[in-house]
Amino acid sequence: MRITVFGSGYVGLVTGVCLAEVGNHVVCVDVDERKTTILCQGESPIYEPGLESLLKSNLASGRIQFTCDTEMAVKHGEIQCIAVGTPPDEDGSADLQYVLQVAQSIGQYMDDYKIIMDKSTVPVGTADKVAAKVAETLAARGGQFEYDVVSNPEFLKEGAAIEDFMKPDRIVVGTNSERAADVMRELYLPFNRNHDRLIIMDIRSAELTKYAANAMLATKISFMNEMANIAEQVGADIENVRIGIGSDPRIGFHFIYPGAGFGGSCFPKDVKALTKIAEDVNVEPKVLKAVQQVNDLQRQSLFTKVQKHFNGELQGKRFALWGLAFKPNTDDMREAPSRNLMEALWEQGAIVQAYDPEAMEEAGHIYGERDDLQLCDTPEATLQDAEALIIITEWRMFRSPDFDVIKQKLKQAVIFDGRNLYEPLKMKAHGFSYYAIGRGDSLVL
């Protein structure tokens, strides 16, 4: 099949590469010439396990190409996939300017039937706006070509996006056109062979499904963080509670890990956008607002523990920070809790010595050169002359460190664990003052 993908960001690039991998001819179009040049050389601008190798192999086979030529791209694909950004406006709503710009480009250059597939996370009713923009553009040029707009939200987890796309747990397609539905069935047949994962529904339900899914997962995280805060005050261990409730199959173990708050490009943005959608139709989103409020507070939790331990005297103190990305297996620092922590420490005059396996370059892009941030080559290097170690991203390499080395290098034997990686009693045996999330606020020596 001939497919055009607008946008070579996270969703667009993964979508394009995976569709090419099963034999389609994919053209990815982007306005960023530098990014397009990098991609044409087989280099991925983002870190995602397995992505770059698939990119290289499909470039070599000629099944995928990258371009800034919008006209060529529109004329190439029967399916036009919109995977551009929908950043939040000041009121929290999703900004659709880039989506509608793509719709206009499609209307300007299309010369036969097109299926316009909304892959971007968009508010309910966006398909109608896309259809209207295409119709308006066609009318202005005197064109009369047929097209269908479908909603096909993505459910990719950063760090496991290739696996999620190639072996999806569900494929949601919103359309009112049987012609478009048949094409979408054909498109996803290679990913749907074991059993039928395709769920076809009306367009507005598909648009809402994406927001509802992310809001539900965010709700589980905020709920567990609230339980962790209660556990600290009553002397309970939230990790025991987690196991106790996760054993109930109605609850399950997914997304019930307490921590330093959720971040990334999806959950914070989508909760705000869904809140705005609800308010616009006069529905008071009490649960959604609570989810956001709990998360905003939780992102300050580690700093509060640090400040309390050091009696508010942080000026000139150095802190080792393990983890910068908002989650493991990505270099994404959008809305990362590490940013809240570092910026709060800097406001108090502290110095951060940080390490992350993948997000060091991204941290440099965000913060540039500054005297109070040192990006270190190894986790051990962050410990030199540091008052304490703070862990904020649960990379696998942080799970079993040499605690004797940590204790030897730190000025004080103090660990603030924002992901509950270690057992408090073991930390006590090693001689650490250990602060975790929801574990009775710990064993302080």
The residue annotated as part of the active site, out of 28, 68, 266, 376, is 266
What distances in angstroms separate CA 285 from CA 6, 278, 291, 369, one per listed residue?
Answer: 33, 6, 10, 41
Q: How far apart are CA 405 and CA 369, in angstroms?
A: 29
CB-based contacts of 266, cutoff 8 Å, min separation 6: 121, 214
Contact 263, 336 (CB under 8 A): yes
Largest CA distance in the chain: 78
Helix segments in 62-125, DSSP class H: 70-76, 97-109
CB-based contacts of 339, cutoff 8 Å, min separation 6: 333, 366
Beta-bridged to residue 64, according to DSSP, are 26
CB-based contacts of 106, cutoff 8 Å, min separation 6: 74, 80, 114, 116, 134, 137, 147
Based on its alpha-carbon atoms, the radius of gyration of the chain, rounded to whole angstroms, reads 24
18 given a catalytic annotation: no
Q: How far apart are CA 153 and CA 173, in angstroms?
A: 7
Residues in the chain: 445
Residue 372 class from Cβ within 10 Å (0-12 exposed, 13-18 middle, 19+ buried)?
Answer: middle
Residue 388 class from Cβ within 10 Å (0-12 exposed, 13-18 middle, 19+ buried)?
Answer: buried
Report which secondary-structure segment, H or E, holds 133.
helix 126-141
Active site residues: 266
